[in-house]
Copies of this chain bind each other. A is one copy, B any other.
Amino acid sequence: MTTLHQPPATLAWHGGPSGYLELIDQTLLPRQCRLIQCRTADDVHEAIRSLRVRGAPAIGIAAAYGLCLAMQHAEDDEERWFAALKRAVAHLASARPTAVNLIWALRRTAAAAQRLRGQVPPTQLGEALLAEARAIEQEDRQTCLAIGQLGAGLLCDGMGVLTHCNTGRLATGGLGTALAIIYCAVQAGKQLHVYATETRPLLQGARLTAWELLHSGISVTLVCDSMAGHLMQQGRVQAVLTGADRIASNGDTANKIGTYALAVLARHHGLPFYVAAPVSTFDLSLSEGTQIPIEERSGREITHPCGVQAAPDGVQTYNPAFDVTPAALITAIVCEHGIIRPVDSQHVALVAGKAPHPRGSTVPLG
């Protein structure tokens, strides 16, 4: 067993129903690891909107705790209490309307109070909200661990592993998704070397993954996205491992832009391409990946790297935040229920279909 150092928790609730949420301000990473306290729902709203907390699972947890904060000083009248709850859900959900777990976690937390309506006085409903938010956080931690332990067997001692974007502690309430597999494999005594792509345009690989892995004592080399092919050609990489933002029922996978190119390159070099994601990432209402909406973001992310203008005024840009990797290019998908391999409709249904996720299929991409 290798002992890994741990950075501060990405987010943590302190105290009881009248407590507060503390989280790492990820916009300051890697230059500064500052904890900020959220004592109102507005604080949480701002933290999500400004990407101080990001990663769909982490956003979901933060929003659930944000709902607890919103209701700390709510009126004692039941009808008014639930009206305020509804407004708070809508307010927090608006912080980042495309994040999957944000809406899902808010609805789940609110439902926990709804179930007790008429049975307990409103003063006790805050405790129910907090219990549900804690449950979401705890379940996410367990999901990450299950993904990590199941997936660790896919990685062999001595491997170079290429990963993209940030899929670790900073993106979840636990160890992460793809990075959880790396953490668990290293803890099991395997020597790995991680190549982290910087992940333009927002540099989550450089800013977050490199920081997180360095902090944990895991051997990591930062490269530009364009260097992945050369790394494979040089024999430095033996497996590619990424997360996912939405997976269709046939296994087609939407993930951070650049993932598809990595899958093509892996196939060209005969390397396995693995995806790690919780069951909540599957959208079984979609038959294939072409139905997944691709979010297009501001061109300023491309023209102004790190806020500095690099491109001429007036240049056209195209900034899709995600791309879709066809199931045929994916060697296996690791979720908390098992490993989907081969990746096709039948095996997705067998493994990911075990316990349908409570969120609706109309929730947009996170």
Q: Which residues of A does B touch, CB under 8 Å?
A: 29-31, 195, 197-201, 203, 206-207, 210-211, 214, 219-231, 233, 257-258, 260-261, 264-265, 267-268, 299, 302-303, 305-320, 323-324
Q: 11 new A-B pairs (CB below 8 Å) besides A211-B311, A219-B316, A229-B260?
A: A30-B312, A206-B310, A207-B310, A207-B311, A210-B311, A222-B303, A222-B317, A222-B318, A226-B261, A229-B264, A264-B264
Collect the chain B residues with CB atoms within 8 Å of residue A311's CB: 30, 198, 206-207, 210-211, 222
Collect the chain B residues with CB atoms within 8 Å of residue A319's CB: 223-224, 227
Asked if B265 and A261 sit within 8 Å, CB to CB, the answer is yes
- CA–CA, A201 and B222, complex, Å: 12
Question: Of all chain B residues, which has the CB nearest A267?
Answer: B268
- CA–CA, A15 and B150, complex, Å: 74
Collect the chain B residues with CB atoms within 8 Å of residue A219's CB: 316
Asked if B302 and A198 sit within 8 Å, CB to CB, the answer is yes
Collect the chain B residues with CB atoms within 8 Å of residue A318's CB: 195, 221-223, 227, 231
Collect the chain B residues with CB atoms within 8 Å of residue A224's CB: 200-201, 225, 257-258, 302, 319
Collect the chain B residues with CB atoms within 8 Å of residue A199's CB: 226
Question: Of all chain B residues, which has the CB nearest A201?
Answer: B224
Asked if B264 and A305 sit within 8 Å, CB to CB, the answer is no
Question: Of all chain B residues, which has the CB nearest A322?
Answer: B230
- Distance to closest chain B CB from A234 (angstroms): 9
Collect the chain B residues with CB atoms within 8 Å of residue A302's CB: 198, 206, 222-224
Collect the chain B residues with CB atoms within 8 Å of residue A265's CB: 261, 264-265
- Distance to closest chain B CB from A313 (angstroms): 8
Asked if B211 and A225 sit within 8 Å, CB to CB, the answer is no
- CA–CA, A306 and B314, complex, Å: 19
Asked if B225 and A312 sit within 8 Å, CB to CB, the answer is no
- Distance to closest chain B CB from A33 (angstroms): 10
- CA–CA, A307 and B260, complex, Å: 29
- CA–CA, A31 and B308, complex, Å: 11
Asked if B226 and A225 sit within 8 Å, CB to CB, the answer is yes
* 8 interchain residue pairs of minimum CB distance: A226-B258, A229-B261, A30-B312, A306-B308, A225-B226, A230-B323, A200-B224, A206-B311
- CA–CA, A309 and B200, complex, Å: 14
- Distance to closest chain B CB from A157 (angstroms): 20
